[in-house]
Structure 1
């Protein structure tokens, strides 16, 4: 293999694979290049059941989460996430319909360790500092500034990828009864694990344009009031050099929620664009 061919393989593999190791819900120790923007649209439909004081309520929620990320340096990036939500609540009371903006999240991500041992094989650690900014748009806001901190580990080896994310949110406000983890007065610990397998191509070539990935995630939310949810989330990713497509489902396998509704299931489709 000539040096020119090897360099082309490195560029093709790194360009296509780095973004592809970002699962649908688990964070990754990757970020846009310096001066590069990445915008992500994540439409999600979810159904919930349960209610305050044992009420048999049901809810349907359609949301579009928009995340804008920007590479500040080779190791530092900033991102802003804003969710628009529509909720239909059914139960003993008349049907309620709400449309509004959920709380926004501002994050800094700093990659403090990288060990590369091949053209695409790498192990990375990143630290995250974040702040939840209230929209004050009832019923989708907990109307409080909530700081968060976390750490992410990403490992890419040939066709395999692993992401491990831990994030703790200190809740300074909230509601007595909520819809999702983090809505109430309790602090929130998120522990997420993702495994990705590159379905195609089997090997990168100099003219590789895109990759397909299968992904399985385990998403754990635990709150200091005792509520918890364990979700299995399989999905599929298509990642080209400037755009990515993603689709998946969320299937709760274990949960206990006395202070919020229980999620029954969810489906998601997403688009990522680099520019």
Structure 2
């Protein structure tokens, strides 16, 4: 299994985990987030459960519980931690146990876990402080598993979406995202997470896992998900409406639906004795 080399590129002046306004914007429509966001490959969940010495899981940045429900369905007992009370409230209504806190400041109160997981979240966490907290609560042999879904449609659909973003919101993150394949951006996040794990100490060398899968989207399904993405959660409503109109036309031109090609990238490190 490949390990991740130490990060050699300089960090940006402001890391994503310092952008709290965006990090805490996803709860503005928690129900939509829970409904529209994709889950994760069952093969990933199974592999983490197999690697863990037991079934006690801590889900960092659990949000509405998308990850936590998958691990609960696999027979695990899951505690979620999330900074957003709105997201946590919806997760509790789904039957999950959630505590509201930033993981860096969260108090484990002597509790220990067999795995610490985090889906689509760790870039909002201080990579060294978060890994240090994971090392504090993990039982020996337990994995810290951090993962992201990197999605890209066909080149024609991706170009059509990018044209909408450049036209409607030219100075936005969305307009810039099309310049770099999504998997490259998430590979950089993986490298930064691995670097934080090494600095925190207490872990074996991080490994990189990858799972490729696909999901078809109708126009309405994609329009439902788009406002839940970080590039759009804080857009003024008139600009968001223009984006959705343009994206709807692009999907219609592609036949009313398209396939998103996902690569789920994971950084996994085992807690040493």
Higher relative contact order structure (alpha carbons within 8 Å, sequence separation ≥ 6):
2
Regarding TM over 0.5, the answer is no
TM class by shorter-chain length?
Answer: 0.3 to 0.5
Give the TM-score normalised by structure 1: 0.35
TM-score (ref. length: structure 2): 0.35
- Between Structure 1 and Structure 2, which shows a larger proportion of strand residues? 1
Larger Rg: 1
